[in-house]
Chain A
């Protein structure tokens, strides 16, 4: 099958049970997407499938034919961070950083769905992404700030 990841096309022959997480990490060496629970409980492997957030550990690679997958490695445009990445740095919305790729992709998907979220929207929208260091207060700030910057008239 052809697997499209971050705008590049890959010829992948994956067994039917192979997850997108395995394909990304082991075949494509895109290790920014993390394995934590492997069963859809923590959100660390969150990637975008046609712009919608999915858990890569619960997504079969075979089911991604014809879809555009975006990982943390794919949101940065040449020379510039994605605004959400910049907001995470600016607001210190990370500590150990292991959940961070998943958090950022979940946040991007959330803002696509709700461009001007309330804090409650952020809490609901991000509640599938666990952070053991407890960066949550600053994740909320970063997402809110990114949303405000994104909706500013000159943006």
Chain B
């Protein structure tokens, strides 16, 4: 019978795509909330922790192939202009230098709209040329021997500068993305505002934030027999393979991308960056493997960022707090390129409101391009929306939590469809209880002392359903051990562990007998980028289907050996037994008898439910202490409650929550790229000057999940949880600071000088 293909919608970071997808061979009953599960839901140790604590985990920068050369990148010293002289000759004659490349040597690819090694300069630190040598030090020294002359032209590094009359042309196509202004609306905002008892209007600003993954972008490239192997620190091995194959005119079979361990991604490592093409080109020219790893300066200036935004918001409400209208105009600084993540989207979906309009203007500037950064768009928009909500609550003399409850969105208003499941009300209830919200609100504020305390909260919504395509293979070896194979990536999220747990659950296997293999395009079935919080909800069901198929074969074989029917068999702890328990065999015994006759199963991810929004939800509560003399904000505690469907491994899931909250705290309090207006270069491209949270900044964090299983979303019941915890952190902290000081907070990060000015 021919297989059936259907169309389905998959939402990734706010972008909805239609996919044509094959229906999986089987569609298991969803694991409901009360499903009796033994491995899923357990606190299993992270499976790759051993190699990480011993230093044996080999990251891309640790790959050292025989004869390998090291590359260094020459970058533009000015933010706009053109190269007038570029001469590598002197550098190429130096001892130990093995090759050099300029735009003439590399494939004609564009990265964020800029040609690789272009001699027209669009932003400071744009790659211009590259050298490879026997050592990194030699390559770096050789850069200094390159003759580079540039003609500087006027630049625009902020949205205001780029939008000004007579602004320099940042890109040939203009200074805004052609989709600008991107408009969206429902209802009648003017009528809604006319109907309101209270209307507030504010302008909010958010900074350019840098991912600052500890492992920078980088690749090691090697050509063998005309085929290219790339070790890459990437969230998407298949996307990287496709882009590299296109660039070099190779069939996909001739490019292999491997990612075993990576030192963080956070959204910035989603395709082939400059370093990949540079490594591959230099490797081809020299006939030797080449390692091209960004230095910290390159990572902090040319490897993506969260867009700075200006949000002009007007919100109207009735006296009882019912929202009547929301209007928001957002200006977004993309840098030289990127994609259109939407700060306005959260205004359309988080709280119930019949009349909403937004317009987003995406502005090109002479700075490094943006890249997805953990919940792109929502994190920025959430700050403005949650500040506006608190301002409204203040005007209406309402409890901020009560205001949010009164505007509870039962449906996905933006797309007029139901949610698969929504337990935000539970998050409010449990969060407020754990935090002691009511008691804390009743406490009198110290309005005179030097140290002032305040509390604030916010809500979370994030599309987290994942979807097809995603594939997995499960195979059982002759000793009864099990391999789960999928071309997904574990960024440090715990995907390896979680997928093994799902397979162990289905097979009734001991978790210690299961190993997950990820991150190799040549050996593994396709899975998409690990982005948009999709891996568990996408690959998890595929693993379940693959494991079900493998279990069926295993039980068939065991039934033969035990002289019974497969339907009479059950398994637990890698042991198969009949229901009456009179017959049993270990997996290793069954498979040992089969020898090299392999038991395996293949699974795929089925389509998403039609006309249904699948989202994760949550609530953040924060308490802060503000030193009014120094302006220093100390976050004392965070309570964070999440509805993420079924939790496969609570320990790893809580680690994700804590990590997201801590990144959100950095965004709220310290993190901003600072540019020199005149020179157009970054003033803080180091880890000292671009401050990320340290262990000393971390408050008491109480982060947990409400029980549940989203059986509409997929048959594992899981939703994504990597991105949601960063959403709303800045809003909750800013609301707490506003509460502490009785002041309006309109801009983050809340550095001491900004707090002092409140």
Which A residues lie at the B interface, using CB under 8 A?
22, 25-26, 29-39, 41-42, 44, 71-73, 76, 81, 85, 88-90, 92, 94-101, 104, 122-124, 126-127, 129-140
**For B49, B263, B491, B695, which residue has the most chain A Cβ atoms within 10 angstroms?**
B695
Given known pairs A36-B296, A134-B663, the reply for A89 and B492 (CB within 8 Å) is no
For B55, give the chain A residue with the smallest CB separation: A32
Return the chain B residue nearest A31 by Cβ: B62
Q: Are A92 and B695 in contact (CB under 8 A)?
A: no
Size of chain B's interface in residues, with CB distance under 8 A?
A: 56
In chain B, what residue has the closest Cβ to A98?
A: B263
User: Provided the pairs A35-B61, A41-B688, A138-B658 are in contact, do residues A96 and B262 lie with their beta carbons within 8 angstroms?
Assistant: yes
Residues of A within 8 A of B391 (CB): none
A122 to B694 Cα, complex, angstroms: 12
What distance in Å separates the Cβ of B222 from its nearest Cβ neighbour in chain A? 18
Is B597's CB within 8 Å of the partner chain A? no
Q: Report how far A101 CA is from B55 CA in the complex, Å.
A: 6
Q: State which of B117-125, B212-220, B279-287, B531-539 sits at the interface with chain A.
A: B212-220
Partner of A90, one of B45, B137, B660: B45
Contact across chains for A136 and B695 when beta carbons are under 8 A apart: yes
Tell me whether B655 and A36 are in contact (CB under 8 A): no
Q: Is the CB of B264 within 8 A of A32?
A: no
**Cβ of A95: which chain B residues have Cβ within 8 Å of it?**
264, 492-494, 655-656, 659
Q: Of all chain B residues, which has the CB nearest A84?
A: B53
Residues of chain B contacted by A137 (CB below 8 angstroms): 658, 698, 701
Contacts of B396 in A (CB 8 A): none
Q: Given the known A-B contacts A101-B55, A127-B695, are A92 and B687 also in contact in the complex, defined by CB atoms under 8 Å?
A: no
Partner of A98, one of B54, B59, B137, B659: B59
- Between B55, B59, B212, B696, the greatest number of chain A beta carbons within 10 A of the residue's beta carbon is seen for B55
What separation, in Å, do the CA atoms of A92 and B492 have in the docked complex? 11
Q: Which residues of B contact A90 (CB under 8 A)?
A: 45
B interface majority secondary structure: loop
11 A-B pairs with CB atoms under 8 Å apart are: A32-B56, A39-B686, A71-B55, A89-B46, A89-B50, A95-B493, A96-B215, A130-B694, A132-B266, A134-B658, A134-B659
B57 beta carbon closer than 8 Å to chain A: yes
A131–B663 Cα distance when bound, in Å, is 10
Asked if B687 and A36 make an inter-chain contact with CB atoms under 8 angstroms apart, the answer reads yes
For B686, list chain A residues within 8 Å (CB): 37, 39, 41
CA distance A72 to B48 in the complex (A): 16
Q: Kindly list chain B residues whose C-beta atoms are within 8 Å of the C-beta of A85.
A: 53-54
B693 touches A134 (CB 8 A): yes
Contact A88 B696, CB 8 Å, known A35-B61, A37-B687, A132-B264: no
CA distance A114 to B296 in the complex (A): 33
A125→B264 CA distance, assembly (Å): 24
Q: Is the CB of B661 within 8 A of A134?
A: yes
Contacts A132-B211, A134-B661 known; list 16 others, CB within 8 Å.
A30-B55, A31-B58, A39-B296, A39-B686, A73-B55, A76-B54, A95-B492, A95-B655, A96-B264, A132-B214, A133-B659, A134-B663, A134-B693, A135-B655, A135-B658, A136-B698
B673 to chain A, nearest CB (A): 16
| Assembled-state Cα–Cα distance A124/B696 (Å) | 7
Residues of A within 8 A of B687 (CB): 36-37, 41-42, 130
With a cutoff of 8 Å between Cβ atoms, the chain A residues found around residue B658 in the complex are 134-138
Q: Looking at the assembled complex, report how far the CB atom of B224 sits from the nearest CB atom of chain A, in whole angstroms.
A: 22
Please measure, in the bound complex, the distance between the C-alpha atom of A33 and the C-alpha atom of B54, giving whole angstroms: 10
- Report the minimum CB–CB distance from A66 to chain B (whole Å): 24
Q: Determine the chain A residues whose CB is within 8 A of the CB of B661 once the complex forms.
A: 134
Please, how many angstroms separate the alpha-carbon atoms of A42 and B686 in the complex?
A: 10
Q: A39-B686, A94-B53 are in contact. Are A139 and B655 (CB under 8 A)?
A: no
User: Does B295 count as interface, using CB distance less than 8 angstroms?
Assistant: yes
Name the CB-closest residue of A to B215: A98
Q: Which residues of B contact A104 (CB under 8 A)?
A: 53
The docked-state distance in angstroms from the alpha carbon of A130 to that of B46 is: 21
Report B212-244 residues with CB < 8 Å from chain A CB. Answer: 212-215
CB contacts (< 8 Å) of A22 on chain B: these are: 137
Interface hits, B47-95 → A, CB 8 Å: 48-59, 61-62, 64
Cα A120 to Cα B55 with chains together (Å):
27
A60 to chain B, nearest CB (A): 14
